[in-house]
Amino acid sequence: MVWKWSSARKTWPASWQTAAWCGNGLHGLSPLVDNATGHLRFDVARADVWSCGYAPRLPIAYIDVATVGNVTGGSMRQSLHDAVVEGELTTTAGAIAFRAFTSATSPVSVLELNATGGEAAQASLVPIAAVARLNPALSQDAFRNPPSSCRAVPTTPARGSGSGSGATPTPRPAAAAADAAADAVVCTQKLACDAAGTSGYSTALLRHASPASTRVGAGVGVARSTYFVSVGNTQPTSRMYPPTTAEDPTREALANVAAASASGPGALLAAHLRWWASFHANQSQGAFVTVRVMSRSITSPNRGQFNCARPSARTPSC
């Protein structure tokens, strides 16, 4: 599947209906273009994030990739076989190429950015207000969720170590950048539908620490960055969707991105591609449809017989 767009005509994919999709059945990431700014935007999703189980699902957050120059156009391609989306956004300052996928073997999505010319490869996590279209039969007040809160986590937690004991969280505004000053940014949303205050979800964005995450040269060359994003969720009082009982959604999200960073994007991609290759190979009827063009004769009431495999100017195609 291929997308191409122009900023002059705003023909870009600006909603989930027209965007690309990555997912593993629970976690997901949707690459699109922000209709207001023209920036690259990657909507973060998790299938079991509801208002205590009541439909519809709640919006979570998105990754915003701001640009130095003005956007002029772009394109992207989704490989259905590999479940990977690749694309490029062009601006008056340069270009930003990206690759995105949701790991088939880990609860995390991966975003790789390569900026050329005068562009930068920087991403920010922006939470979306947890507003659901309510069933009129339900109590309205019980679903007026409080605003989410975001904070930087200066120390990347090791697997299973939670949010990093001993590290003092630094308050950040709603749009929090995962930059050199913080290994990860986490945004937490509490749900008002749970009177006990135990239900909520957290989104963690971690910038992978690697030598490739810096610009090559003084204002020229290529700037590379890799980000991991994951959503932790706990809704023990869920009714419509099976309850989730994670001990701490923030700890879950941070542990997921920390484990992904420890593995590295290359290892995650390799495991992801192997999983999908095995999936396609093990399908009894094949995961893709093969269309064979066969020669056959069709009788036309007006033109007599003609061959479908070799239509001519005088005979219609099949």
The predicted-structure confidence for 134-169, as pLDDT tens digits, reads as follows: 555 556 555 678 888 999 886 444 433 333 333 323
Confidence of residue 292 (pLDDT cuts 50, 70, 90): low
User: What is d(CA 175, CA 230) in angstroms, rounded to the nearest whole number?
Assistant: 16
Question: What is the structure's pLDDT at 61?
Answer: 95
> What integer best gives the mean pLDDT of the chain?
77
Q: Give backbone dihedrals phi and psi of 147, rounded to 5 degrees, phi first.
A: -65, 150
Query: Structure tokens of 236?
Result: 């023990």
Q: What is the mean pLDDT of residues 60-71?
A: 92
Q: Give backbone dihedrals phi and psi of 304, rounded to 5 degrees, phi first.
A: 75, -140
The architecture (CATH level 2) of 2-281 comes to Distorted Sandwich (2.70)
Q: What is the mean pLDDT of residues 202-227?
A: 68
Cβ neighbours, 10 Å, residue 26: 13
Q: What is the mean pLDDT of residues 63-74?
A: 91
Question: What is the structure's pLDDT at 52?
Answer: 72
Query: Structure tokens of 25?
Result: 């059945």
Question: What is the structure's pLDDT at 38?
Answer: 80
Confidence of residue 89 (pLDDT cuts 50, 70, 90): very high
Q: What is the mean pLDDT of residues 114-143?
A: 78
CB-CB contact of 229 with 108 (8 Å): yes
pLDDT > 90 fraction of the chain, expressed in percent and rounded: 40
- What is the H or E stretch that residue 267 is in? helix 265-281
Q: What is the mean pLDDT of residues 21-25?
A: 94
pLDDT tops 90 at residue 26: yes
Q: Which residues pair with 86 in a beta bridge?
A: 77, 99
pLDDT tops 90 at residue 98: yes
Q: What is the mean pLDDT of residues 103-120?
A: 94
Closest C-alpha among 166, 194, 184, 149 to residue 261: 184
pLDDT tens for 299-314 read 444 444 444 444 444 4
Least confident segment among 7-16, 39-48, 185-194, 308-317: 308-317
User: What is d(CA 129, CA 148) in angstroms, rounded to the nearest whole number?
Assistant: 7
Domain range summary for the chain, segments of one domain joined by +: 2-281, 288-318
